[in-house]
Chains A and B, each alone.
Chain A
């Protein structure tokens, strides 16, 4: 993770900033230059919700470089409403507790330890709501 890349992603990873298409109302996370639904190019700033439901999940047991110290860890695709799904890790959960439909909330967590670049990356992770 290079410093510019880490910095560039902060509005989304730290603050869940998104864009709403002024033409069709689609919420884009992350924001884009053009709406893939209606090709609109004007947006208003918005945020995605910080709660949602697990639509699918897995437990990563063989991790890529940069994550080998964390394995095993859970990853899920979470529906946060407004037609937006995001992929993120699920923290504070045992693998056998994971289930499709499970309610979660997004919390601010450390995602990657400092690797070769020395950058520690933070962002959102889902945690179960019991």
Chain B
């Protein structure tokens, strides 16, 4: 396998973008990435998207992507793994370049979620769970994570304040990110007293419904310098794992085994330990998710994710900075775009071009963790500056 580098990144402003179609979102981020790399074409394209069919009645993104990016007849492939679609698309692009099959590969992640109302969006998202044994009974994603939260709180004495602190921290970071959907602070009281979605999670424990896209361009590491003058950022590790689709069938209801395994694989490939990681972007689709992820990554002891968040371990200036971008909570969560946007953020941080106040000091080795469903699939990547 060849070493792979990221030579272009692009991301548009996320939010309720009613004036733009899914094709516009893909094209906009793709063009930003091409401009960043100084290229006007690529050899292949991957498009991570969870459910363009249910959200926009549009499938066949393998054509939409290259077509609206203006690069036909470049081949396009859509990759789907629920909310981990973006991360899985990154891995597909990475393996494509690493294998030597193509040199320049673009990976776009996209989701256009606000063309449908809230109940339909909730239904579309719920298709990432088991239709027959979870969705059938009326459970939602906030519902599944709420059950994980109650389990975690009961088992480890994790508190309501500790959950809320994840939102407070991530909004503080996202306030400084001009591309974030919700550039605003929230307080512990606001999070706890917001409208209840699924007990104990309020609407401010949940990531929002978002329209958005993000794109990266990958190439063989030894060709990166001849294409771009920017700092070379290598994809050093890639790990991917699955778990049972049904939360009820996991051995531990509040432990993300797929994240643990994906992270171990990525770290092993990169020749690194979790202690070597300078910062991380993780899948905080709900506040409890970030707590469980930092535990599964091994960044904190299992059961200590809540206190660690409260103590500032995961703050921008903490020992293990998490979600300096604002995370899914503040930046938004256009599900298929999230995994790609995490890579965009790692590259920004490693290049040292993140906004003041949310730039992590000495950000040279970053980890991105993206997961689908209630943790039924996880993808982890490790990027390192040269």
A complexed with B: yes
Contact B142 A9 (CB under 8 A): no
Q: Return the contact of A55 from the options B151, B197, B200, B244 (Cβ within 8 A).
A: B151
Task: Report the minimum CB–CB distance from B231 to chain A (whole Å).
Answer: 44
Instruction: Report whether B139 and A56 are in contact in the complex, using a CB–CB cutoff of 8 Å.
Output: no
Per-position binary interface string of chain A over residues 27-61, scored 1 when its CB falls under 8 Å from any chain B CB and 0 otherwise: 00010000010000000000000000001111111
Q: Which residues of B contact A66 (CB under 8 A)?
A: 123, 138
Partner of B247, one of A9, A77, A112: A77
Interface range on chain B (Cβ under 8 Å from partner) = 35 or more
Task: Collect the chain A residues with CB atoms within 8 Å of residue B118's CB.
Answer: 62
Contact indicator B136/A60 (Cβ below 8 Å):
no
Please name all residues of chain B whose beta carbon is closer than 8 Å to the beta carbon of A112 when the two chains form the complex. Answer: 136, 138
Indicate if A63 sits at the interface (CB-CB under 8 A): yes
Q: Decide: A60 near B140, CB < 8 A? Known: A65-B120, A75-B147.
A: yes
Please report the C-alpha to C-alpha distance between residue A41 and residue B260 in the assembled complex, in whole angstroms: 29
Asked if A70 and B147 sit within 8 Å, CB to CB, the answer is no
A100–B200 Cα gap in the complex (Å)? 14
Segment at the interface with A among B126-134, B210-218, B305-313:
B126-134
- A67 vs chain B, min Cβ distance (A): 4
Known contacts A85-B249, A87-B248: A61-B197 contact under CB 8 Å: yes
A64 x B122 contact (CB < 8 A): yes
Please name all residues of chain B whose beta carbon is closer than 8 Å to the beta carbon of A36 when the two chains form the complex: 244
* Residues 176-214 of B at the A interface (beta carbon under 8 Å): 195-201
A81 to B244, CA, bound (A): 19
Would B136 and A57 count as touching, CB distance under 8 A? no
Q: How does the 8 Å CB contact mask read for A59-90 relative to B, with 1 for contact and 0 for none?
A: 11111111110100101110000000111110
Cα–Cα, bound, A100→B146 (Å): 13
Query: Residue B119 contacts which of A59, A64, A70 (CB distance < 8 angstroms)?
Result: A64
Interface size on A, residues (CB 8 A): 36
Partner of A60, one of B133, B139, B148, B200: B139
Alpha-carbon separation in the docked complex, A58 to B142 (Å): 9
Q: Which residue of A lies closest to B197 (CB)?
A: A62
Complex alpha-carbon distance, A89 and B199, angstroms: 14
In Å, the complex CA distance between A30 and B248 comes to: 12
State the CA gap A26–B200 with chains docked (Å). Answer: 33
| Pairwise interchain contact A77-B147, C-beta atoms closer than 8 A | yes
Complex contacts, A67 vs chain B, CB 8 Å: 138
Give chain A's interface residues, CB within 8 Å of chain B: 1, 5, 9, 13, 30, 36, 55-68, 70, 73, 75-77, 85-89, 95, 100, 111-112, 121, 123
Top 5 A-B pairs, shortest CB-CB distance: A58-B146, A67-B138, A56-B151, A85-B248, A64-B123
A-B pairs with beta carbons under 8 Å apart, 29 shown: A30-B132, A36-B244, A57-B147, A57-B150, A58-B201, A60-B139, A60-B142, A61-B199, A62-B122, A62-B140, A63-B119, A64-B122, A64-B123, A64-B135, A65-B123, A66-B123, A70-B138, A75-B138, A75-B139, A77-B147, A85-B248, A85-B249, A86-B133, A87-B133, A87-B246, A88-B137, A95-B199, A100-B150, A112-B138
